[in-house]
Amino acid sequence: MATQSLGERKLFSFSPAMLAWLGLLGLCIVIGLVSAFQVFWNGLYITNMSDSVPWGLWITIDLSSIALGAGAFTLSAVVYLFGLKRFQSIIRLAVFVGFIGYSSALLTLVMDIGRPDRFWHPWVYWNIHSVLWEITWCITIYLTIMLVEFAPVIAESRLFNRYNWVRTAAKYLHKAAPVLALFGLLISLLHQSSLGATYGIVKSRPIWFKPSMPIMFILSAVAVGPALTMAVAYVAEWVTGKRTIPHDIMRAIARFSGFAILVYGYIRFWDLAAVTYYGRTPSVSESFNILNQQTPYNFSFWIFEILLGVVLPAVLFLTPRFNRNPAYLVIGALFAVIGILINRWNVTVGGLFVPLSYSPGTQYQLPPGKYFPGLPEWGIAVGIIGYALTMLTLGIRYLPLFGNDQHS
């Protein structure tokens, strides 16, 4: 299959459509940069976050983009751990998408912390009991692993045609890929679940404090990450007009994703039942009452998270009638991604909407934490999306992401 991509390297030229696309991406990035400047200049005051809802849209983006980058470690595990070599051809793209996801998350995190100039503190001042500390470490280590994993691909690009030593170094680096992938797998399993634990360990918030949180986070990431990689591969194929990755592999990924989404859905329902029938303390009941009465939590949970985010993708990925058609697979992946986004939003903002109750057995209650992202927050979001899509466009245009795996 690799021979297909070796012939003409005519990917896509600068057609009017391409120029319009690049213009759009440029606009997104400019919006992001202007917002970033605003935030750095004025402080987080200009966002809509507050002391009662200190985390909002940006944390949602962090969590989602890390989850969506999970295709990298899942597919690496498939190839290097389970030895299914036929998936080798999508590994590069998976690692690339993972890298974009993780770097987007880090960019958003730098915006979100109050002192971006101190972003390096977690590496110097350790608090090994903090979930967030562990996540910071894992994310940066994993980002490095992905860079090293990906270095051979960059070295292969035309840019390095004249430098032979780069190629030689990259060749040795490539030999280490399986080891790196395994180490990356370990790190990923750690922090993908820790992202759930970030909420799961907060005992003051009754609807977060449950041991199923990390499990749901990692399962949804494992399910949707590969699906996103598959969707990106299809879209790249449509745009460049070249069949780069065999379709049977893509369908296999879609079916894996479908099953994983079903497992995630099962755990989600189990969690719902467990919380409803076993863990339903008065504070949990009250929290859900507040959420259901004052926010569209119930609607967005059942419609977006379950129906569109779990049921629809599972049907599209698993039934032969749909999963033979790439368009349905891409639509399925799109909805699965939306499901992840809405889920992370619901967890974060839903949990913070419920006021804390600490006054002893009395009627005093803090007001519910109202939050809707402000303009600068949306601006950063647009900028991050612009960054991700620009990276993707440039990667597909200039990097040998597909096939060409002669030394693997």
State the residues that interact with other proteins by CB under 8 A: 42-45, 48-52, 54-55, 112-115, 118-119, 121-122, 124-127, 129-133, 136, 198, 201-205, 352, 356, 358-364, 366
Closest CA to 139 of 171, 97, 168, 99: 99
- CB of residue 384 to other proteins, shortest distance in Å: 18
Burial of 154: CB neighbours in 10 Å, binned 0-12, 13-18, 19+: middle
Residue 144 vs 161, nearer CB to other proteins: 144
Residue 110 vs 169, nearer CB to other proteins: 110
- CB of residue 334 to other proteins, shortest distance in Å: 31
Task: Classify 363 as helix, strand or coil.
Answer: coil
Residue 273 vs 366, nearer CB to other proteins: 366
Question: 186: which 2 tokens?
Answer: 């370990």
Residue 21 vs 133, nearer CB to other proteins: 133
Cα 181 from Cα 145, distance rounded (Å): 8
Task: Classify 406 as helix, strand or coil.
Answer: coil
Are the C-beta atoms of residues 174 and 167 closer than 8 Å to each other? no
Distance of CA 107 to the CA centre of its chain: 13
Angle at 58 between CA 53 and CA 59, to 5 degrees: 70
- CB of residue 197 to other proteins, shortest distance in Å: 11
Q: How many helices (H) and strands (E) does the chain have?
A: 18, 0
Rounded to 5 degrees, φ, ψ at 74 are -65, -50
- CB of residue 362 to other proteins, shortest distance in Å: 5
Residue 20 vs 176, nearer CB to other proteins: 176
16: enclosing H helix or E strand: helix 16-42
- CB of residue 119 to other proteins, shortest distance in Å: 7
137: enclosing H helix or E strand: helix 131-156
- CB of residue 191 to other proteins, shortest distance in Å: 13
Residue 8 vs 117, nearer CB to other proteins: 117
- CB of residue 28 to other proteins, shortest distance in Å: 26
Residue 352 vs 399, nearer CB to other proteins: 352
